[in-house]
């Protein structure tokens, strides 16, 4: 069986398997989603209209025995940025899809009327099932019911929540975690709203009878994944007992706070001594005390295991993972320094289908606008509940940081291309600011993680305050785009940046699957091809160099306690691409 594309026509409620076109044979993940979107979606279309499409694509090695490779890319035109978008998640949904030899799902058209559908996909059949009984319901209970309905052990679920029903521009696409919780998100860019706009509420896949991923050269593949595994198990950040394994991504809270770059109270300060209360170290202790799980994997085969299951005392009401970005966004950025409250906010986001980064930025801007006070955890939960109740205020909030900031007359609105900034203040850490400004994706730390060299000393050590960061950001963006196509988790970058054999192993594993003869030198070229496609789409959608800028307050307002401003010149930003 050759790789296939599954094209789902929501207008006519029909689905068809197509052989993967030869031109797509070596593409996966972000490389495939962005290529299909650029080819099939008009750049000037309404993101929530009939002409947009939503594309799901597992990575090239996803579904194999390659370590830490359970990633899926979701692509489309973003209702938040107005440009091309790829959002990424780690989930067994991706692995099952790949083993079914489905290289991509393309969702197109739009249901006529107000009904929502669940699409069930098996190895050789697609079924459309009306799912209006789950409209307006939270995803935690709904996923539990879906697993009971379709089979606990053999299925994976993708879905959208109440925020997407509102067509909220910060609605994400939810995937189940290993416990069946709706906690693994392709969150950024409002792609959940695109999915709901099609009339599609859930996708359920059952891989029974799947042939598995075809590997062209097993010997080359095995040699490659051995090198990747050895690198991951040797590096201090990724090894067992390493930083990510012990404390999860929230290990960064204390590190970034010490660097004076952890945004507090809607980017008005870069440091607060209370941040220690929500650190990865504090969280690990609380998980141990409450009976949660840590370390933990987001999908089978991950050997970094930076995930976890946060619970209330006694193991009650499991949330899933509390990522660094979520803890910061719903915590320090809102002046909230209580992990229990942050966990409740995170659970509410998961239940409603919200991107936690955009939600935290939105709440902080609402606090700035006087809707509630900074530090008001109960009030923050109340704001999220407005979305659940679909009130006018909830509809404003569901459309994200920029929309909310304008609604309440706020001038400090931390967005690029309409998307809220992640957990690093670009005044204190300039390279990540260059990435925020220039990536086609809107403010996105994962697009070129300059934190690695600037703060962690991975891949070399550079001064975070040095404004000459175009080259570093560019190189990282190219490498990341290529990595996002492979299906490997971005976190393997820590090891392969420092251990050359690890990067060689990644390339060999790709050659083993594809039967190609790629070299390490091809990696940035692959990344450039992907980013060129994305930038061309954005240009056709109306983007100019003026969109590759940070908000002016980053240049005008000093960041306490460093009193830094973002002093990277426009010429430097324009030289990235």
Q: What is the pLDDT of residues 491-504, one digit of tens each?
A: 999 999 999 999 99
Query: What pLDDT does residue 1 have?
Result: 67
Look-up of token digits 């989603």: 33
Per-residue pLDDT tens for 429-440?
999 999 999 999
DSSP state of 333: G
**Among residues of the chain, what percentage have pLDDT more than 70?**
100
Query: What pLDDT does residue 153 have?
Result: 75
The residues facing 564 across adjacent strands are 559
Query: What pLDDT does residue 492 have?
Result: 97
Q: Where does CATH 1.10.569.10 sit in the chain? A: 249-424
Architecture, CATH, for domain 249-424: Orthogonal Bundle (1.10)
Architecture, CATH, for domain 215-247+426-577: Orthogonal Bundle (1.10)
* Cα separation values, 2 from 6, 98, 277, 332, Å: 13, 12, 52, 49
Query: What pLDDT does residue 152 have?
Result: 76
What is the chain's length? 577
Per-residue pLDDT tens for 58-81?
999 999 999 999 999 999 999 999
Q: Distance between CA 359 and CA 365 in Å, rounded? A: 10
Q: Distance between CA 340 and CA 198 in Å, rounded? A: 36
> Is the pLDDT at 358 greater than 90, yes or no?
yes
Per-residue pLDDT tens for 158-170?
999 999 999 999 9
Query: What pLDDT does residue 332 have?
Result: 98
Tokens encoding 273: 């001594």
Q: Where does CATH 3.60.9.10 sit in the chain? A: 4-206
Query: What pLDDT does residue 231 have?
Result: 98
**Residue 311: which pLDDT band, with cuts at 50, 70 and 90?**
very high
Query: What pLDDT does residue 501 have?
Result: 98
Please give the average per-residue pLDDT across 256-281, as a whole number. Answer: 98
Q: Distance between CA 245 and CA 260 in Å, rounded? A: 24
In contact, 366 and 383? CB cutoff 8 Å: yes
- Half-sphere exposure at residue 40, Cβ-oriented, CA atoms within 13 angstroms: 18
Per-residue pLDDT tens for 389-412?
999 999 999 999 999 999 999 999
Query: What pLDDT does residue 154 have?
Result: 87
H/E element, 105: strand 102-108
> Is the pLDDT at 177 greater than 70, yes or no?
yes
Q: How far apart are the first and last CA of the chain?
A: 40
> Is the pLDDT at 2 greater than 90, yes or no?
no
Which CATH topology does 4-206 take? Answer: Aldehyde Ferredoxin Oxidoreductase;  A, domain 1 (3.60.9)
Helical residues (DSSP H) of 409-515, grouped into ranges: 430-438, 451-454, 470-486, 493-498, 500-514
Please give the average per-residue pLDDT across 174-185, as a whole number. Answer: 96
Per-residue pLDDT tens for 279-302?
999 999 999 999 999 999 999 999
Q: Where does CATH 1.10.599.10 sit in the chain? A: 215-247+426-577
Please give the average per-residue pLDDT across 562-570, as a whole number. Answer: 98
Phi/psi for 156 (5° steps) reads: -130, 155
Per-residue pLDDT tens for 447-478?
999 999 999 999 999 999 999 999 999 999 99
Lowest average pLDDT, out of 150-154, 252-256, 345-349, goes to 150-154
Calculate the average pLDDT of the chain.
Answer: 97
Measure the CA angle with vertex 13, ends 11 and 15; round to 5°. 115
């Amino acid at each position: 069986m050759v790789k296939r594309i599954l094209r789902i026509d929501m207008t006519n409620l029909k689905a068809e398997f197509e052989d993967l076109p030869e031109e797509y044979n070596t593409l996966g993940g972000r490389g495939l989603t962005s290529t299909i979107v650029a080819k099939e979606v008009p750049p000037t279309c309404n993101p929530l209209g009939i002409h947009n499409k939503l594309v799901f694509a597992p990575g090239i090695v996803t579904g194999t025995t390659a370590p830490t490779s359970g990633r899926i890319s979701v692509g489309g035109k973003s209702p938040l940025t107005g440009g091309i978008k790829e959002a990424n998640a780690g989930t067994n949904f991706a692995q099952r899809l790949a083993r079914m030899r489905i290289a991509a799902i393309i969702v197109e058209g739009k249901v006529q009327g107000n009904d929502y559908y669940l699409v069930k996909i098996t190895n050789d059949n697609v079924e459309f099932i009306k799912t209006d009984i789950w409209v307006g319901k939270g995803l935690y209970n709904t996923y539990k019911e879906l697993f009971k309905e379709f089979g606990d052990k053999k299925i994976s679920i993708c879905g959208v929540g109440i925020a997407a029903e509102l067509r909220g521009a910060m609605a994400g696409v939810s995937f189940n975690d290993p416990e069946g919780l709706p906690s693994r998100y392709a969150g950024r860019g409002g792609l959940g709203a695109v999915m709901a706009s099609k009339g599609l509420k859930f996708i359920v896949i059952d891989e029974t009878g799947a042939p598995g991923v075809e590997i062209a050269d097993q010997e080359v593949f095995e040699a490659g994944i051995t090198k990747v595994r050895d690198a991951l198990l040797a590096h201090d950040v990724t090894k067992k007992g390493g930083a990510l394994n012990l404390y999860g991504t929230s290990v960064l809270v204390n590190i970034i706070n010490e660097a004076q770059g952890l945004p507090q109270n809607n980017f008005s300060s870069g440091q607060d001594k209370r941040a220690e209360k929500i650190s990865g170290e504090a969280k690990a202790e609380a998980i141990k005390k409450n009976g949660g799980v840590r370390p933990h994997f987001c999908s089978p085969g991950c050997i970094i295991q930076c995930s976890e299951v946060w619970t209330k005392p006694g193991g009650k009401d499991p949330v899933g993972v509390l990522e660094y970005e979520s803890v910061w966004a719903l915590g320090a950025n809102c002046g909230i320094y209580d992990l229990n409250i942050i966990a409740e906010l995170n659970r509410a986001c998961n239940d409603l289908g919200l991107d936690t980064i955009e939600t935290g930025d939105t709440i902080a801007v609402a606090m700035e606008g006087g809707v509630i006070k900074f530090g008001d955890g109960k009030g923050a939960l109340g704001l999220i509940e407005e979305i659940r109740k679909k009130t006018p205020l909830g509809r404003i909030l569901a459309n994200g940081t920029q929309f909310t900031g304008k609604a309440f007359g706020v001038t400090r609105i931390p967005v690029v291309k309409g998307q809220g900034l992640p957990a690093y203040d670009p005044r204190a850490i300039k390279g990540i600011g260059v990435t925020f400004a220039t990536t086609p994706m809107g403010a996105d730390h994962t697009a070129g993680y300059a934190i690695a060299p600037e703060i962690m000393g991975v891949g070399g050590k550079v001064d975070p305050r040095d404004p000459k960061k175009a080259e570093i950001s560019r190189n990282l963006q190219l490498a990341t785009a290529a990595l996002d196509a492979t299906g490997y988790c971005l976190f393997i970058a820590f090891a392969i940046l420092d251990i050359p054999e690890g990067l060689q192993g990644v390339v060999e594993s790709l050659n083993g699957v594809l039967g190609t003869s790629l070299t390490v030198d091809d990696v940035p070229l692959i990344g450039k091809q992907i980013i060129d496609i994305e930038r061309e789409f954005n240009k056709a959608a109306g983007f100019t160099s003026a969109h590759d800028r940070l908000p002016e307050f980053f240049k005008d307002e000093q960041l306490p306690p460093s009193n830094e401003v973002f002093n990277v010149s426009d010429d430097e930003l324009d030289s990235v691409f």
